[in-house]
């Protein structure tokens, strides 16, 4: 009996971990040629049916050239957005959004007028942890 109880206590954390999950996805980038205009990446969707809520999202995007001054990037679900900074990192800004929701990167450069050189985003990637 004592052995069964100890074994059950050791396995309990594993059952908690089994309920959590993660998915990852990527999308092609966008091209920004004008300041003050937003451009949205194609949607990044989970690879299959998923249930649960997002908690941490790791993200990364890659530009073909230097980052222009005033670049603003948001990571958006279908219901809300959270600002992100830098070319990679993590955010809890979309916590409690359904893990089955699609995500998009939304880019803009502050100001008005043409951008020179044009800013091209090569790739967008996310890894979504959920429970």
Asked if the structure places residue 113 within a domain, the reply is yes
Asked if the structure places residue 16 within a domain, the reply is no
Question: Does 125 have pLDDT greater than 50?
Answer: yes
What pLDDT digit, counting tens, does each position of 86-101 carry?
999 999 999 999 999 9
Asked if the structure places residue 10 within a domain, the reply is no
What pLDDT digit, counting tens, does each position of 19-32 carry?
489 999 999 999 99
- CATH number (domain holding residue 88): 2.60.120.260
Asked if the structure places residue 82 within a domain, the reply is yes
Please tell me the total count of domains within the chain. Answer: 1
Length of the chain: 131
Percent of residues in the chain assigned helix, strand, coil, to nearest 5: 15, 50, 35
Asked if the structure places residue 17 within a domain, the reply is no
Q: Which two tokens stand for residue 23?
A: 């998915």
Is residue 35 a contact partner of residue 109, using CB atoms and an 8 Å limit? Answer: yes
Asked if the structure places residue 8 within a domain, the reply is no
Cα 84 from Cα 103, distance rounded (Å): 13
Answer yes or no: pTM beyond 0.85: no
| Structural domain range at position 93 | 22-130
Cα 17 from Cα 33, distance rounded (Å): 45
Asked if the structure places residue 11 within a domain, the reply is no
Q: How many CA atoms lie within 13 A of 76 on its CB side?
A: 17
């Amino acid at each position: 009996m004592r052995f069964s109880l100890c074994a059950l206590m050791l396995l309990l954390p594993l059952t908690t971990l089994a309920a959590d999950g993660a998915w990852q996805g990527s999308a092609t980038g966008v091209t920004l040629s004008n300041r003050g205009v937003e451009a949205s990446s194609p949607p990044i969707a989970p690879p299959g049916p998923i249930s649960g809520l997002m908690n941490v999202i790791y993200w990364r995007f890659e530009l073909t050239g230097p980052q222009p001054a005033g670049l603003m990037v948001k990571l958006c679900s279908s219901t809300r957005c959270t600002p992100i900074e830098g070319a990679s990192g993590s955010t809890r800004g979309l916590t409690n959004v359904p893990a089955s929701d699609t995500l998009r990167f939304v880019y803009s450069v502050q100001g008005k007028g043409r951008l020179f050189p044009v800013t091209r985003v090569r790739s967008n990637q996310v890894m979504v942890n959920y429970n």
